[in-house]
């Protein structure tokens, strides 16, 4: 195999006509890879992505060829995938107002050019899910929000409309399935690309704790920060530490690592109904 790319979390290898996508235990926040891994994170992300790809297979095709036909050293954390020509857009859907979307709303009253009602607060549920795309930044640089018009400039009007529709449809279906299991999906990020036969497919990961914000429905209360089953806990630690969000990042304390892993495991078990060994 040939290593083609090493990203913030995943490494991509070429293996004949296929790609081998390997999820590491690395964790990135604010587009910086932290020096401290989260044990089992790569396997948890892989297992959860595969579960979601299966749940949503009737909605949109995906890049998965096999979860088992992978090199033994990567077993459990790798997927054999179709080669896709990935589109230069991070496709983000938001059903609740938080994170960077909240900050942009507080400045402008809109998110990625989508005007929102006045008076919304932290964790407010939106009238309907919105498409808030961003750029794809290289490692060490920051993704930047863009408007739908800018997506049109990048990929054309027809493809841009398909990206928006697929992103919202995936979010709605994922949020509905998660809600049945007591989990709110505040937002999620998708990546899509063209297969050689011209099919538009989901790639990378899907509705994981790295690409989504998951909140427990039972304790949801707008107007404050929510308990989060994702890497928001690490983001909060980083802010409190005084780190300037620029590389190099500081080591993550053992108790933060342990608590973060527990959240990844907990949401995996709640969503899939499977016990993590």
The answer to whether position 160 is within a domain reads yes
The answer to whether position 79 is within a domain reads no
The answer to whether position 213 is within a domain reads yes
| Mean pLDDT by groups of 10 residues along the chain of 277 residues | 91 96 94 93 97 97 97 96 96 97 96 97 98 80 86 98 98 98 98 97 96 96 94 90 92 96 97 95
**DSSP annotation of 128:** E
Token representation of residue 166: 């697929």
Spatial separation of the C-alpha atoms in residues 141 and 263, rounded to whole Å: 27
Residues 6 or more apart whose Cβ sits within 8 Å of residue 251? 34, 35, 36
Handedness of CA 89, 95, 98, 101 (dihedral sign): positive
* Interaxial angle between packed helices 41-55 and 157-179, expressed in degrees from 0 to 180 and rounded to the nearest 10: 100
The answer to whether position 42 is within a domain reads no
Residue 142: per-residue pLDDT: 66
What distance separates the 2 farthest-apart alpha carbons in the chain?
A: 54
The answer to whether position 152 is within a domain reads yes
Structure-token match 């293996």, residue found: 15
Residue 138: per-residue pLDDT: 62
Q: What is the CATH number of the domain that holds 120?
A: 3.30.470.20
The answer to whether position 263 is within a domain reads no
| Parent domain of 162 | 85-219
| Cross-strand partners of 130 | 94
Q: How many domains, the chain?
A: 1
**How far does CA 24 lie from the centroid of its chain?**
15
The answer to whether position 37 is within a domain reads no
Residue 139: per-residue pLDDT: 55
Q: Are 165 and 158 in contact (CB under 8 A)?
A: no
Structure-token match 């404050």, residue found: 224
Residue 227: per-residue pLDDT: 94
pTM of the model: 0.93
Residue 141: per-residue pLDDT: 61
The answer to whether position 128 is within a domain reads yes
Residue 261: per-residue pLDDT: 96
Classify burial at 206, counting beta carbons within 10 Å of its beta carbon; exposed 0-12, middle 13-18, buried 19 or more. Answer: buried
């Amino acid at each position: 195999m040939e290593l083609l790319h090493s990203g913030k979390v995943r490494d991509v290898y070429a293996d004949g006509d296929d790609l081998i996508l390997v999820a590491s235990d690395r964790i990135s926040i604010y587009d910086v890879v932290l020096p401290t891994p989260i044990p089992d994170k790569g396997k948890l992300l892989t297992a959860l992505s595969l579960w979601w790809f299966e749940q949503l297979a009737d909605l949109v095709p995906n890049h998965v060829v096999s979860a088992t036909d992978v090199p033994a050293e990567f077993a459990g954390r790798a997927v054999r995938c179709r080669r896709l020509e990935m589109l230069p857009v991070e496709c983000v859907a938001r059903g609740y107002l938080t994170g960077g979307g909240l900050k942009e709303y507080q400045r402008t009253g809109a998110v990625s050019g989508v005007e929102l009602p006045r008076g919304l607060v932290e964790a407010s549920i939106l009238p309907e899910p919105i498409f808030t795309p961003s750029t794809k930044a290289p490692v060490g640089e920051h993704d930047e929000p863009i408007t739908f018009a800018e997506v049109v400039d990048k990929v054309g009007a027809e493809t841009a409309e398909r990206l928006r529709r697929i992103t919202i449809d995936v979010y709605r279906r994922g949020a509905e399935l998660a809600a049945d299991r007591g989990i709110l999906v505040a937002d999620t990020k998708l990546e899509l690309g063209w297969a050689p036969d011209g099919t538009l497919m989901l790639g990378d990961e899907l509705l994981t704790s790295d690409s989504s914000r998951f909140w427990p429905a039972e304790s949801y209360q707008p107007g404050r920060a929510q308990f989060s089953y994702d890497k928001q806990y690490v983001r909060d630690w980083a802010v409190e530490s005084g780190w300037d969000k620029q590389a190099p990042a500081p080591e993550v304390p053992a108790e933060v690592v342990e608590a973060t892993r527990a959240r990844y495991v907990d949401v995996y078990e709640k969503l899939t109904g499977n016990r993590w060994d």
